[in-house]
Structures are given as C-alpha cells and as structure tokens.
Amino acid sequence: MTAPTLSPRKATRTKTAAAPAREVATRDADKTRLKILEAAEAEFARKGLAGARVDLVAEEAGANKRMIYYYFGSKEDLYVAVLERVYTDMRIAEAGLELEDLPPLDAITRLVEFKFDYPAAHPHLITLLNGENMLGGEYLRRSTRLREMQISLIERLKTILAHGEKDGTVRPGIDPLHLYMTISAVSYFYFSNTPTLSTAFGRNLATPKEREIRRKHVVDVVSHYIKAG
Amino acid sequence: MTAPTLSPRKATRTKTAAAPAREVATRDADKTRLKILEAAEAEFARKGLAGARVDLVAEEAGANKRMIYYYFGSKEDLYVAVLERVYTDMRIAEAGLELEDLPPLDAITRLVEFKFDYPAAHPHLITLLNGENMLGGEYLRRSTRLREMQISLIERLKTILAHGEKDGTVRPGIDPLHLYMTISAVSYFYFSNTPTLSTAFGRNLATPKEREIRRKHVVDVVSHYIKAG
DNA sequence: GTTATATAACTAACTAGTGAGTTACACAAG
DNA sequence: CTTGTGTAACTCACTAGTTAGTTATATAAC
C-alpha cells in the first residue's frame, strides 16, 4: 500500500529542449511509458480492472513489469491513467468541433455524427467506460481535471438551441443536458451492446453495412426530435 | 477447465408432484440453488465475471462453496445461469406487455415506459449486460433458448408501426429493429452510465427527480420521432 | 445401500507487488 | 581523459496472499 512515487514524470529533459507535443514520446523512457499505457488500455478495455493482468500488460508493452510500478505505482493507478487519457482525448476532440458557424440544425447533426464516429474509431473507450460504470465511476471521480471539461459542451449546446429557437428551426423547450445524453445514448448503446444485441436478434449488427444504417438512423431520430413544427 | 457437469438441473422431484411456478423454490435443495443464483447475480453484477469471488457468493448465499460446484459445475457456468435467468425474466416481462389493444402511438409509448421502468427496477440487469458485452457476448451466446424470444417483439413492433402508418398516426418508413434499439438505448444509457455522467456533469443524475425528468424526456424523444406530420 | 445434499479442510496455480541489484549516461574534479 | 558520483531507466528473482476448484467424509431420505 505504500507508494514509492519516484516521480519519474519530473525527469530532467537535458537534451530535448522543446516541449513535446501531446502523447509524442521523445525520450526512450517516455516511449516505454506510452507503450505501457497503450497495452494497458487494450488489456483493461478487454477484461476490465479485475480481469486485466499486469503481467500481460508488461508483456504486450515489451516492458518489464517492474517498470509499470516504477511509472504508475499500482495497477489501480495505471487504470486511472488509462481512463484519464482516453476520456481526455475524447473531450479534446469534442471541444475541437466547430459547431458555432453552422445553422443550428446542422450543428446538432454534426454533433450527432461525431458522437457516432468517435466511438466507432475508438472502441476501447466504450468498454473502458462500461467497466468504469460497473465500478460505480469511482476511479474516474478520482481523477482531477476532468470535471471542468464537460460542462462547456452543454453550454455550447444550449446556445445552439437558443439560436434555433430564435430563427424558428428548433422546437422550444429542449433540455440541452438530456439532448446531449440522448445523442450519446443512441450511438453508444449500439456500439456497447452490439454483442448481446447481435445474439438476441440473430443478426450481426457489427458489419459496415449495419453500421451505416445505424448512423443514418441516429441522425434521423435526433433531427425529428429537435426540428420545429 | 474440465467441467464435471453433474447435471443437477435434472434432479428428480420426488415429493412435489405439481410443477413449481417460476423461481419458487419448493424443496430445500431448490432453495439453496435459488439463494446461490441470487447471491451470484449480485456478485457478478457488481464485479463482473473476473472480479466476482466464488467464496463470497457462497457466503452471501449461506451455502457451502462446494454446493455451487455441485449445482452449477463451474464459476463460468454459474455466470451463464445468472445471465440466462436475468435475461429471460426481462423477455418474459416484455412479452407480457399488452400493446396490441392500444392505438399505435400509445402502444409505443407504453413500450418506451417499460424500457425505462424495467431496468429502473432491475439494476443488476444493466451491469450484467455491460459486463457481458465487454466479454464480447460469448456467454450469452452459449445459452440456448434465448435466440427465439427476441425476434417476436420486433415482429410485434412492425405490426404496430404498420397499423400506425395505415391510420395516419405514424410516419412511414420507420425500421422496427432500429426503433427498438433506440428505445432501449435512451433509457439503458441513462441507467448504465449514470456514474460517469454524474461525475462529468458534476450533478447527481440518480435522484428520483432526475429520473422522472429523464423518463419524460425519453417518451418525448421517441414520440416526436414516430409521429406523422 | 444408494442417492441427494451438505461441510470443512485442502491444493495447485495464479497474481499483485517488491527487494536488490544493474546498465547507461550525465557532469564535474583532478 | 579518466575517475568518481549521481540518477533515471531497467532487469531478475522472489514472496505473500489469493482463488477456483477438489478430496474426503458425513448424514438424511427412501
């Protein structure tokens, strides 16, 4: 239980003067750290916190197990680091969406498409979040600096809806938070529950064709919900 | 890895001549079996297949660990039994919905409300399904007799939509499978992701008040999607 | 006496975490 | 240049504790 915390993150950067860009490993040590994170992401996504094996992470990363404890302290702390990274990446991508220049309905459609395309491109995100929710979200809560990121998007959505109301394209009275949840839900559920749904319906829902059908459907659902008239 | 499979499920029912009602333990042995299933459901729901502890299931059930192996053969088989039970219960409840007597829009609203209320009343279902989906759905697939149950509801939904189209209340061209998925999604996601969403939004979404708001919202979303005009 | 049900004690394999030491390299003193 | 010192990065071998599954045995029912 006693964390050594040799604080390798504050390692002196003797040679490389320029600050490295996000997730670009410049030094060998950073590369090892990154490889561990990537291997851990896959392992935790596949098996959850309890099912993941530290030895397998080490093997997959081509690193010595001891280095995982050297860099991250414990299995749980490694898990938090993975969660933080994946979650932050998504929020950054979301923040980068240029919605404000578009007409309200188009802006929301773009958000819906993003909420479909992002998990499609990052399947680990889904299973990691599923696992985290099974654990009551306690590890994500542990992570600082995640609290502030989310709220801004709801504010942006609120503004977009207000514009739409004003120009008559959007039905009034839509709750931005619940709209955001619904937009997330209709795509997330599809990716998250494809395995059991495919079994239940006796039909593989993970094919590119089915995926495209679903994508059109979710845009359709949200459009009809927000459209005025 | 070698499953003993003592097939205790075919145990002779010497005393109780009448076929016992669903999940009502008549004999002591059936009671033990049921207690194990209930304890296992809670344990697997909370911690997933890998995180669950057989010893804890035994303790919680007030049964000897050996009896778990006697009745279910292995941890994995116990997990499948739990999954099967929970999933089947939901399908039975779903099949019991009397939708056919209602006007199409009301029928779909009733289905939406069911899809909200059922997971609200059975939180284990959500986490069990989440865990199962993380594992690729392989254990649910292992279970027979689940395949046929689902399809019927899609057929019923198809009929309802067709009636609605005919009487002009429902917009034509709605895919019943995707509608069903969307109806499931908007409620499921709320229950499934409450922990991380609450963290992200800095607002407890699990309160009765928030729940009621969400319930209204999901009915609203689906109504606007299917309504003609 | 055979079958179903039950218990406690046990084991083989696994698993997170550690102790102790090594390598590679930077920088400074002589 | 070479010797000494400091330290980040890394390896190997180990352990204390856990965990699914088992063995051996008991008892009640019929």
Q: Please state the domain extents for chain A.
A: 19-73, 83-229
Taking contacts as CB-CB distances below 8 angstroms, the residues of chain B near A225 are 220-221, 224-225
Q: Where are the alpha helices (DSSP H) in A73-175?
A: 75-95, 104-121, 123-134, 138-142, 147-167
The answer to whether A221 touches B225, Cβ cutoff 8 Å, is yes
As a whole number, the mean pLDDT across chain A is 86
**Residues in B 92-121 with any Cβ partner in A closer than 8 A:** none
User: Does B219 contact A at CB distance below 8 Å?
Assistant: no
Q: Kindly report the pTM of this predicted structure.
A: 0.86
Measured CA angle at A35 (ends A34, A39), to 5 deg: 120
**What mean pLDDT comes out for the span A156-180?**
97
The answer to whether A54 touches A82, Cβ cutoff 8 Å, is no
Taking contacts as CB-CB distances below 8 angstroms, the residues of chain B near A185 are 185-186, 188-190
Structure tokens at B101: 């007597």
Nearest C-alpha neighbor of B140 from the set A199, A45, A134, A190:
A199
Q: Tell me what pLDDT residue B27 has.
A: 55
Find how far residue A75's CA is from the centre of its chain: 20
Q: Tell me what pLDDT residue A127 has.
A: 96
In this prediction, residue B110 has a pLDDT band, given cuts at 50, 70 and 90, of very high
User: Does B209 contact A at CB distance below 8 Å?
Assistant: no
pLDDT in tens, B47-79: 999 999 999 999 998 888 999 999 999 999 999
Q: Measure in Å the smallest separation between the Cα of B79 and chain A Cα atoms.
A: 15
**What mean pLDDT comes out for the span B165-183?**
97
**What mean pLDDT comes out for the span A101-111?**
97
CA of A27 to C1' of D13 (A): 29
Distance CA B140, CA B84 (A): 7
Nucleotide nearest to A75 (CA to C1'): C16
Distance CA A199, CA A54 (A): 31
CATH class of B83-229: mainly alpha
Residue B28 CB in 7 A reach of strand C: yes
**What mean pLDDT comes out for the span A99-124?**
97
- The verdict on a CB contact (< 8 Å) between B137 and A49 is no
CA distances to A38, A198, A221 from A207, rounded to whole Å, are 26, 11, 21
Q: Measure in Å the smallest separation between the Cα of A141 and chain B Cα atoms.
A: 6
Q: Which amino acid is at A131?
A: G
Q: Which amino acid is at B188?
A: Y
Residue A63 CB in 7 A reach of strand C: no
In this prediction, residue B148 has a pLDDT band, given cuts at 50, 70 and 90, of low
In this prediction, residue A145 has a pLDDT band, given cuts at 50, 70 and 90, of low
What's the N-to-C CA distance of chain A in angstroms? Answer: 61
Q: Which residue has tokens 């059922």?
A: B118
Q: Tell me what pLDDT residue B152 has.
A: 83
**Among A12-21, A37-46, A175-184, B97-106, where is mean pLDDT lowest?**
A12-21
In this prediction, residue A80 has a pLDDT band, given cuts at 50, 70 and 90, of very high
Distance CA B189, CA B217 (A): 13
CATH class of B19-73: mainly alpha
Q: Measure in Å the smallest separation between the Cα of A17 and chain B Cα atoms.
A: 35
Nearest C-alpha neighbor of B52 from the set B34, B78, B22:
B78
